[in-house]
Copies of this chain bind each other. A is one copy, B any other.
Amino acid sequence: MTAAKTPNPPYYAVIFSAQRTDGDDEGYGQTAARMEALAKTMPGYLGFESARNEDGFGIAVSYWASEEAIKNWKQKAEHLEAQRRGVENWYSDYNTRVAKVERAYSMKQKKTD
């Protein structure tokens, strides 16, 4: 995982934070990888970042060009099925927040000569 390269604001972020339950790491991992690949094919997709602590608490942020793009992705059939499995099997607690990115700053260290 590396930082997402996003355009200048404004654009949208979907912030998903969740506590993984124990078990079914294989099923979860396969579906997470498939959803990341599928999201990249959606109109308005701008980028994705994720991180997870050893205790299973994780944050995933996807970036989108518009609210319509987020709605299309939320309603995509294969994604709906993954969401259903997430609620039933993989997460004990989750939060989804849709936010409009208004300002952004970034820095990448340059190597000194």
Which residues of A are at the interface with B, using a C-beta cutoff of 8 A?
1-4, 6, 9, 13, 15, 17-19, 49-53, 55, 57-59, 61, 87, 91-109
Contacts and interface: CB of A to CB of B under 8 A. Distances in A.
Contacts of A92: 108-109
Contacts of A107: 87, 91, 93-94
Contacts of A57: 1-3, 49, 51
A91 to B, nearest CB: 8
Contact of A100 (B91, B100, B105): B100
Which one of A4, A59, A92, A100 has the greatest number of beta carbons of chain B within 10 Å? A59
Contacts of A94: 3, 106-107
